Copies of this chain bind each other. A is one copy, B any other.
Amino acid sequence: MQIAELEHRTGVNRHTLRYYEKAGLLQEVVRRGNNYRDYPEKAVERVAMVRQLKALGFSLREIREVLDALRSDSIDCEQGAALMAEKKAAVDDKIRELKQVSQMLGAEQQRLEASAAALREAGRCKE
């Protein structure tokens, strides 16, 4: 497919798609005779994955490392497995920390709700 279709199907700006390609995130792009890019179906999924990982706080560099290992045709298996383990550990750490933040936010929410209820007729917050 051409870049306009990939842009439309992923919602990602064509300039950004070319930028991702330069950054090594989309390696399966071929050129046709007219020098136009020709993306395979898989590219839609791959771009979606890049965007998801990005939203979760990974840098493009980290995303490329993971994608490279997932392709796993140039890298050594044990090395790839180790990288996956390392990235998984980082993700699991992040999950643990986020759970703490979630708990903290929940507690704060309840505190504020209690204050709000207690002051429902008194007026403003600030006990």
Which residues of A come within 8 Å of B, CB atoms? 52-53, 55-57, 66, 69-70, 72-73, 75-78, 80-81, 84-85, 87-88, 91-92, 94-95, 97-99, 101-102, 105-106, 108-110, 112-113, 115-116, 119, 124-126
Copy number of this protein in the oligomer?
A: 2
Complex Cα distance, B116 from A81, in Å, reads 9
**Chain B residues in 8 Å Cβ range of A102:** 88, 91-92, 95
Besides the known contacts A52-B101, A66-B105, A70-B108, 10 further A-B residue pairs in the complex with CB atoms under 8 A apart:
A56-B57, A73-B125, A75-B125, A77-B112, A77-B113, A81-B112, A84-B108, A85-B109, A91-B98, A94-B98
Complex Cα distance, B87 from A105, in Å, reads 7
Complex Cα distance, B105 from A52, in Å, reads 14
